[in-house]
Amino acid sequence: MNNSIFEMNRNIYIYNLLIAFFISSYSVYGQPEDLTLSDALVKTLEYNYGIRISKSDVEIASINNNWGNAGRYPTIGFDASSNNSYNFTDDERTNRLYAGVGLDWTIFDGFRVNFTKDKLESLEDLSQGRLGVVIENTIEDVIMAYYDVLLQQENLEVLGTVTTLSEDRYTYEQARYELGGTVTYQVLQAKNVYLNDKALFMTQEVIVRNAIRNLNFLLGLDPSMIWNFPDPFEPDTTDYILGDLTGKMMSNNQTLKNQFTNLQLQKKEIDLGKSALYPSLYVSAGLDENVGSVQFIGSTDALSTYGNLRLSWDIYTGGTRKRAVEVARINEEIAQVEIEQMEHALMNELLNLYDFYSIRIALLEVADESLEAAELNMSIADEKFRSGAISSFEYRDIQLIYLNSALRRLQAIYNLIGSRTSLTRLTGGFLMENTTAEEPIDP
């Protein structure tokens, strides 16, 4: 009997030491700040690694999108050289210095400059669209990571409640044993249940901390940062109209928009291929100076300018230009088919998500009723157990029913939030102009 009490006190002491260690390890970083979901999304847009990389890609595309890269402007170059020679027969040394400035300009090349500039603009649009997809996916990940933290904290609270009940039962059995009202087996059984629940509680504490670290990673912040999470763990059960969701998806889905941009790029490739069928006109102008020095003869100095026009036209190239245009047309047709395929795939995804959202609302209602019944059953069972009307095994079964019901309800809330968030992402809700930080998951 005394050994059992000693072991229980020792376990409680070790448990308290662990809790104190974790609290002290976090306290060195200062008092936790509040982190709402809106705050998390603001930090995500600023610090997330993937978003920062995609923003740099957009910046590169913007730099490349200029008339200079398209070939509209002339090129100006400077060239200088020194040529030295020695004639052994005549014992004559020659030194010539050359310097020149030249301008080359393509006046006309079958409108290739304009088509190239259009292509560069489309590439910039595509990079911005890809940034939009990265932002949408990241926002969805952050929302789910944020609510995963809330889910794990709620699970911890449920396990804490069950652990407290198990501890009360163990204390009750200890008191009964001291009064001779029960046997050692009942005490040990209550102790094992309590220690098992406490182990689950401690494991859940680690899961909570891991969930916070995962969220910090998505935010691009120090993994050791801790927060208070004031947002409630509650779902929005707003009903949706499938037709409205379909219209929003077809007009606002960023991935589909990117595919249309890709189709425009393929059309630009056709125009570029056709531009090779036209002649090209070039102009060149420059200024050259030659300074020479020949031994026994003297120095020479010549300054000259030039201006030239050149017309170039590839009349026949073995059909390569025609084949390039045909290939570009086929790629355009492929891009069009890919759009049709994407629209079909998005429609399938929307229907699946819509069905999941609808059924998960119903499942949450079932989970609410189940938890309400389990809580009432727990209250009744506690009185019956203390009065001896039910055994400890029956009481434990009822306790597990309550635990499973509570955890299922919390998971049902998380699943419903996940369906709603996916619908928002699919219908372009995260990037719509009327989307605000205060309503981050409203399609």
Q: What is the pLDDT of residues 65-82, one digit of tens each?
A: 999 888 889 989 888 887
Determine contact, residues 32/228, Cβ cutoff 8 Å.
yes
Give the chain's largest Cα–Cα span: 133
Q: Identify the pLDDT of residue 64.
A: 93
Nearest-5° angle of CA 29, CA 33, CA 35?
A: 130
Give residue 256's pLDDT: 93
Q: Is the dihedral of CA 130, 133, 135, 137 positive or negative?
A: negative
How far is 297 from 413, CA to CA, in rounded Å?
99
So what's the pLDDT on residue 391? 80
pLDDT score recorded for residue 438? 36
Type of residue found at 61 = A
Model pTM? 0.82
- Phi, psi dihedral angles at 319 (to 5 degrees): 80, 10
| E strand or H helix that includes residue 92 | strand 92-108
Count the Cβ atoms, other than its own, within 10 Å of residue 268.
20
How high is the pLDDT of residue 108? 86
Nearest to 155 by CA among 378, 368, 411, 360: 411
Beta-sheet pairing, 33-34 with 227-228: parallel
pLDDT attached to residue 95: 76
Q: What are residue 82's phi and psi, to 5 degrees?
A: -130, 120
84-to-79, 96, 298 alpha-carbon distances in Å: 17, 6, 15
pLDDT of residue 27: 41
User: How far lies 151's CA from each of 40, 144, 211, in Å?
Assistant: 16, 10, 10
- What distance in Å separates the CA atoms of residue 403 and residue 156, rounded to the nearest whole number? 11
Close Cβ partners of 342 (under 8 Å, ≥ 6 residues apart): 255, 256, 259
Helix (H, G, I), strand (E, B) or coil at 223: coil
**pLDDT below 50 — which residues of the chain?**
1-29, 433-443
Planar angle of CA 392, 394, 395, nearest 5 degrees: 60
- In sign, the C-alpha dihedral spanning 386, 390, 391, 393 is negative
The CATH class for the domain spanning 32-65+111-278+319-426 reads mainly alpha
**What is the C-alpha separation between 140 and 148, in angstroms, rounded?**
12
Domain 74-108+279-312 fold is Outer membrane efflux proteins (OEP) (2.20.200)
Beta-carbon count within 10 A of 279 CB: 12
For residue 299, give the 3-state DSSP assignment.
strand
Ranges of CATH 2.20.200.10 domains, the chain: 74-108+279-312
Which residues of the chain does CATH 1.20.1600.10 include?
32-65+111-278+319-426
Residues 6+ apart with CB under 8 A from 246: 347, 350
- 397-404, Cβ contacts within 8 angstroms, sequence gap of 24 or more: 398/374, 399/162, 399/165, 399/166, 401/374, 401/377, 402/162, 402/371, 402/374, 402/375, 402/377, 402/378, 403/158, 403/159, 403/162
Whose CA is closest to 251, among 117, 120, 86, 428? Answer: 428
